[in-house]
Chain A
Amino acid sequence: MSLSDYIVNMKRCIRCSYCKWTILSQIKSWRFARGCPSEGFTKFHSYSAGGKMAVSLALLEGRFNYNDRLLDIAYKCQLCGACDVACKVCRYLMEPLETMRELRTKLVEDGQLLPEHMLTIEGLRAEDNMMLKQKKERGKYLEDSNVKNVTNEKAEVLFHAGCRLSFDEELSTTARKALNILKKANVDVGVMGKDETCCGGRAYDLGYRGEFTKYAEHNTEAWRNAGIKTVVTCCSDCYYTFKVLYAKHGFIKNVEVLHITEYLKRLIDKGKIIFTKKVPMKITYHDPCHLGRLAEDYVPWNGEEKKIKGQIVTYEPKKPIRRGAKGIYETPRDLLKSIPGIQLVEMERIKEYAWCCGASGGVKEAYPEFALWTANERIEEAESTGAEALVTACPWCERNFLDAVNSDGKNMRIYDIVDLVDQAM
């Protein structure tokens, strides 16, 4: 689909501003009521999903030519999907997130490139990662690990580290810990090591469909060649890309994609992981967008609008609706609660209506101040619970929280779930 396929959507936007807020029924305070980081940061309506729908329509109607402000509106957004969920509480016909994605795709197709992203994409093209690092460095985190390489050994489970965990020295310990846990649980796990490439998900978000396609084709072919049936990752971005985007664009078949939390939960349920140590800590859990509301299974649909009762818009066949109902929410929580000593307290905005960490959608790369602002909002929310630590399940979230804590001198400890599981074993 392209942006113009969404014109009908744009015209059906009612500018109700639901997209700016967390789900209205779930609001518990004035302080933590907002849902949209873009509108929250800039304060202009234009940056909300409703604003972007209007801007997209204006662009397609030729009301203005390409300009810097348009790029700013399009890209100062994590594509976190909070707007999409909030909108769909009351609307079946709307696809704000898809519209915003297609806007970016059109911009890129028309050569309207954000300079900050160009650097990242050039790096991706050259070195197969989003971290502006050399690909030969990938897999360095595995140096002292004794783990199979699936390019030349069979393994039942492929552990995909992802760009962030592969190259972020501080966070790469999460990948090592995850592998160790899996090995301790006698999982037949392997990695691609330095042959691992980017999932392509972030390129997709930036509007670079070509790059996404390239990596999707490459990865799925590599899995096929290696006989991979199960892919496990700690990175929620990669998880979402494999599970949803690859499925949506027809790249993935017969491969089960699991987030590390899902896999660990299975192992715990089977008694293959036993916690022997207490981790006495009051924590709160941040739902990564790409593990939560965005990570519902992709259900293919190819249908048409059908009006009933005069003008009621329905779809034939029935169109599945993605509104975050079936994101992965309980599994990480069950996992955390099963760790002895852990006291889990919830923030106000959680699950399908969680506030974004701030890192995704190309924001970390292009708008670092905005990314940190978003993270700080979340950290304040975590602080309001009285928790000592903010735990998440995505290295991009973790990185952005850590950067925010470090820049603001806050006291909040930041962990990945894997860190706590590791501590408890």
Chain B
Amino acid sequence: MSLEKDIYQLFEDIVGSENISNDEPILDSYSFQWGSELFRPNGNRFMPRPDAVLLPGSAEEVQSIARICNKYKIKFKAFSTGWCVYAAPYKEGQILLDMRRMDRILDIDEKNMFAVIEPNVIGATLQAEAMKIGLNTHMIGSGCVSSPLAAATSFLGHGPDSLFMGQAAENLLAAEWVLPTGDIVRTGAMGSGIGWFSGDGPGPSIRAIVRGGSGARGAMGVFTKCAVKLYPWPGPTQLPVEGTIPAYGSTLPKNIRAYTIAFPDWKAYGDAHYKIYNAEIGYILHRQYNKLGEDLAPAFFKMYIDPTKTIDDLEEMLEKPEIKKLTEELRISTQIVLAGMTSRDIAWQEKALEEILAETKGWKVAAMSDPEMEKFTLLYLIRLGFKGLNMVFSGGYRGSFSQKGTPDFALKYRPIAADVLAKHQKTGLIVDSGGDSMMGPGGGMGGGGHIGFEQFCFYDPSDLSSINGALEYFEDAAGTAKKLGLTSGYEARIFETRLSEEEKRTAYLSSKQPALFKYQRKIKDIFDPNDLGDDQYAVMPRDPNGLEDVAS
């Protein structure tokens, strides 16, 4: 589909000719997406083409665009950095708003510890500016190339530092939101122009409809600004980075330490997490390295921090006796960074950690504490600029299972996730990284209490048989979660998009709380009456018999 010329002109009049295009190469570059090969038939790397791509420069421009869209019933979606299929059209007949021009950090309130940002601000730049004044930002799990605004308003938001710095949803203060109707609403204290420091109120919060466990993923209007909380950073005003590419590392003062801690069994692992929460220690708590697989991760990372080596050295590394030993040692392990605000503070935290390890028979893995590894771990976990390694093996990866909950809960399902993946790894169509290729936050939310295990499946997106092998695994994973009565992980979305409206309705009606989908439909009916957002905002399809839905 393409836009009519005069409608295109209306959009062009808003953003300027240099900020709009419907040239085919442009459109295709925006329909190319990570993960499209799972959602589209035959491993297609392209999602449906948008009708046009616009680069708005202000909330007012977004509003004007939304008004035209409402007038002419044109679907639209905005994205901040645009990483992953959620940023692309799922069907034809949609325009995309690339928020690239709105990339400013508008303010950092040092005293009250929050920043006001636009959509295209990425975690890395916010962190760099915050560190100059002794502050830091929560870095969401997808890494520092992602947008804190997008995470806070529109998607998920756990990250390695959630234990200390909360989950993105916890960090959202006030926000500026162009509703699908084109109305601009500002939440919290910004509603009356008072300030960005409060996102809730007055009274019951509009914040309630901004997002829940997840945001609307671009399907309910456009967030053009928001305030996010910042956190203390007891380190240098600039992250010191040394080393030869890619083996960068950061030598930090002794009040900031990184460890990999391991345990004799999973019960001890879980117990240790509870003890860490209760002791209130830890700046970062994340099972990060294991994402590359319990069988491969130790070899990979030891290889990675040697800049003379490449992936071609992995096989050799795997054969080294010390790597084999390390691999066994790390099977039940996680990473932790302690950051003391003062020297007394770090001393206390270190002591507390030692006690916890003694009580749970855990230990600090010596081979992960050598200076080079610690420097790398610190930089990795603090800046989170190595998240592209999620795709290092073969170019494709998707998370699955993704059970989040208390440590006891998540650990209950860990072996199930491991078994299902291991079974499919034997086919050779996905990477055989070991059944436990799980990564996830050890804190999950501010103060902890909640861990996540995202199971990594690696496949080659240029190889249709590998894509199909991955899809078989994902279907098994989604089905297993459903059988167990668990909520689905990321993989389930692949199959949800294939459902007809009838099938969706059936699925939603048989879910634990069908009312959720009805309420979201009601919200959508009010705020998106012309249905201009796509189905990333889950709504109960209308009754095909035309009967009115009752309340429950």
Contact = CB atoms under 8 A, between A and B. Distances in A.
Contact present between A and B (CB < 8 A)? yes
A52 B462 CA distance: 17
A59 to B, nearest CB: 8
A240 to B, nearest CB: 18
A85 to B, nearest CB: 7
B110 to A, nearest CB: 15
Q: Which of B55, B83, B311, B389: most chain A Cβ within 10 A? A: B311
B431 A312 contact: yes
Given A12-B394, A14-B34, A28-B238, A312 B124 contact: no
A315 B121 CA distance: 37
Given A27-B125, A30-B129, A318-B313, A18 B246 contact: no
Interface string A233-267: 00000000000000000000000000000000000
B245 A90 contact: no
Interface string B376-414: 000100010111110111111000000000000000000
B280 interface: no
Contact of A311 (B127, B315, B463): B463
A18 B124 CA distance: 11
Interface in B1-41: 18-19, 21, 23-26, 28-30, 32-34, 37
A29 B171 CA distance: 22
Interface string A292-334: 0000000000000001111111111111010111000000000
B533 interface: no
Q: Which of A25, A29, A45, A91: most chain B Cβ within 10 A? A: A25
Interface string B288-310: 00000000100000000001001
Interface string A10-27: 111111111001011111
A13 B28 CA distance: 14
B53 A44 contact: yes
Interface string A110-123: 00000000000000
Interface string B105-134: 100000000000000011011111100100
B46 interface: yes
Contact of A33 (B33, B124, B239): B124
Contact of A324 (B33, B245, B387): B245
B3 to A, nearest CB: 16
Given A15-B34, A309-B296, A314-B315, A30 B245 contact: no
Contacts, number: 233
Contact of A25 (B34, B238, B383, B458): B383
A92 B392 contact: yes
A332 to B, nearest CB: 18
A15 B393 CA distance: 16
Interface string A365-385: 000000000000000000000
Given A11-B462, A308-B314, 11 more contacts: A11-B45, A11-B461, A33-B122, A44-B53, A45-B29, A73-B29, A93-B311, A307-B394, A312-B296, A313-B395, A314-B312
12 contacts: A11-B395, A12-B461, A21-B124, A28-B238, A30-B128, A43-B55, A58-B24, A58-B25, A58-B46, A310-B431, A314-B314, A319-B310
